[in-house]
Amino acid sequence: MAELAITVSYAISALGLLAGVGIVYALMQSDRVEASRGKFAWLFIIPGFAAFSYILMAAEIGVVTVGGNEVYLFRYLDWIVTTPLLVGYVGYVAGAPRKWIIGVGAADALMISVGLAATLATGLATWIGFAISGGFHVVLLAILYVVFPRYARENRERYRLFKVLQNHVGLLWLAYPALWVASPAGLGYVSAVGTAMVIAYIDLVAKTPYVYFVWSDRACFAADPISADDAATDETIDADEAVTAAD
């Protein structure tokens, strides 16, 4: 019964993530934005690879047992591939230099890789690995909340989308280390079934709404985005110039 609950949760998440693929496809087809300017093709990987991974996990492929706990390897492979893109795209929207985008992606990948090693370890090594992974998480958050905003303020047309993506990633990901501590890999307060179901839900919320937020604010990637306030200002300037010309 427990295995069935996990399988159903993973299958539902896969379907929800495939909806995210559809959203990115709509982004690519939109005539309101320049696809090359928004670099939307990278966004395909986020829900697409995650959906692929959840299909394999639902089929119980790539599952190993460590200390009596089942570890889904494709979950971590999914995170190593997709989460650096999630944080890196936040930097891209902010207009950050490539070195910081690569840096935040590297911190993320190291956080996940060391987290996997901690999950596969036992005893004291598990908690040492968790602490190191947590250190990379702190570095990631520092770049996300200290470095990226410096550049985002210079990209006024994208600032609103930046703040949405920044907080969606930064705040939601605080749940992962807390859940890991409570999971069977940590202190065991939450069952394997409960852990699997919560992670599947968080993963879905982390990825499909993310690409929807980009879709909903896609106008900021237009060649010459003009807000309502800008348009009103332009009309005022034109009116003033007309009056001056008449005088």
Domain architecture of the chain: domains with CATH:
2-246 (1.20.1070.10)
Whether 33 has a pLDDT exceeding 90, the answer reads no
Which is it for the CA torsion 166, 52, 2, 192, positive or negative? Answer: negative
Average pLDDT, the chain: 88
CB-based contact 213:220 (threshold 8 Å): no
Whether 197 has a pLDDT exceeding 70, the answer reads yes
pLDDT at 242: 44
User: How far apart are the two ends of the chain, measured CA to CA in Å?
Assistant: 84
What are the beta bridge partners of residue 71? 64
Task: Give the confidence band of 245 by pLDDT, cuts at 50, 70, 90.
Answer: very low
pTM: 0.86
Q: Is 141 helix (H, G, I), strand (E, B) or coil?
A: helix
CB-based contact 148:94 (threshold 8 Å): yes
Over residues 146-151, the mean pLDDT reads 96
Helices 41-58 and 192-216 cross at an angle (nearest 10°) of 160
Percentages of the chain per state (helix, strand, coil), in multiples of 5: 80, 5, 15
Residue with more model confidence, 246 or 169: 169
Q: Give residue-wise pLDDT tens across range 203-231.
A: 999 999 999 999 999 999 886 544 444 44
pLDDT at 159: 95
